[in-house]
Amino acid sequence: MNKNSVVIITGANSGMGKATAIELAKTGAHIVMVCRNQTRGEAALKEVREKTGNEQVTLMLCDLGSQESIRSFCATFKEKYQRLDVLINNAGVILPGRHETTDGFELQFGVNHLGHFLLTNLLLDLMTSSTPARIIVVSSGAHKIGKIHFDDINLTKNYTLWRAYAQSKLANILFTYELARRLEGTGITVNCLHPGAVATSMGINRESGFGTFITRLLKPFFQTPEKGAETIVFLATSSDVSEVSGKYFYQKEEIRSSNRSHDEKLAKNLWIKSEEWTGIN
Amino acid letter for position 3 = K
Would you say 105 and 278 are in contact if contact means Cβ atoms under 8 Å apart?
no
Catalytic residue among 81, 165, 248, 250: 165
The CA-based angle 183-57-207, given to 5 degrees, is 90
Angle between helices 161-182 and 116-128 (to 10 degrees): 20
Three-class SS of the chain: CCCCCEEEEECCCCHHHHHHHHHHHCCCCEEEEEECCHHHHHHHHHHHHHHHCCCCEEEEECCCCCHHHHHHHHHHHHHHCCCCCEEEECCCCCCCCCCECCCCCEHHHHHHHHHHHHHHHHHHHHHHCCCCEEEEEECCHHHHHCCCCHHHCCCCCCCCHHHHHHHHHHHHHHHHHHHHHHCCCCCEEEEEEECCCECCCCCCCCCCCCCHHHHHHHHHHCECHHHHHHHHHHHHHCHHHCCCCCEEEECCEEECCCCHHHCHHHHHHHHHHHHHHHCCC
Per the annotation, the verdict on 248 as an active-site residue is no
The residues assigned a catalytic role are 165
